[in-house]
Amino acid sequence: MFECKEDEDFGSVQGEIVSIADDTQDAVLDALQTLYDDLQEELEQILEQTDEGLMMNAAGMEVKLKDGSICTLRVAPDVTARILTVLEFDELQAFVENIARSVEEPDSGHFCHNK
């Protein structure tokens, strides 16, 4: 089962958000991920052939949540590009995963404490 809705919440990105059931089988999720990756690659190739390549205005990173579901976090591409001037992609991914864990498991204790 899936649900579609227009994506109007992030800048001027045109498109739709497709949500699927949490209990979707792994084989289906793998097939969808492969299709998504193929479509992203095709989009990159199309944008490289036009002057629109530098006009992209959305970026995202996937994070696996504690319940096992995958969440795509939207980040403005200019922010992502600036961060990637000082961090490697895997360092940025680890940072984003740390933020997601902190949101799922908040710790309101002091940053500094004796061990």
| pLDDT at residue 8, rounded to an integer | 66
Give the pair of three-digit tokens for residue 53.
């390549």
Residue 77 and residue 59 in contact, taking contact as beta carbons nearer than 8 Å: yes
- pLDDT tens by residue, 35-69: 888 887 887 777 666 654 444 556 777 888 888 88
Please tell me the pTM assigned to this model. 0.45
- Nearest Cα to Cα of residue 74 among 90, 96, 95: 96
**Residues 6 or more apart whose Cβ sits within 8 Å of residue 60:** 72, 73, 74, 75
Residue with tokens 């991920």: 33
**Between residues 8 and 94, which one has the greater pLDDT?**
94
Distance CA 42, CA 56 (A): 14
| pLDDT at residue 13, rounded to an integer | 47
**Between residues 91 and 8, which one has the greater pLDDT?**
91
Q: How much is the CA Rg of the chain, to the nearest whole Å? A: 17
Give the pair of three-digit tokens for residue 95.
């940072």
